[in-house]
Amino acid sequence: MDGLRFHDLRHTFRTLGAEAGVPLEVMMAQLGHMDRETSLEYVHIQQQALERAKQLIESEQAPVLAAAQRSSGAADGSATPKV
**Per-residue model confidence as pLDDT tens digits over 35-79:** 888 887 877 777 777 788 788 888 888 888 888 888 887 555 555
Q: Is 33's pLDDT higher than 70?
A: yes
Q: Is 9's pLDDT higher than 70?
A: yes
- Do residues 32 and 14 touch, judged by C-beta distance below 8 A? no
Phi, psi of 10 (to 5 degrees): -65, -40
- pLDDT for the residue 75: 54
3-state secondary structure of 48: helix
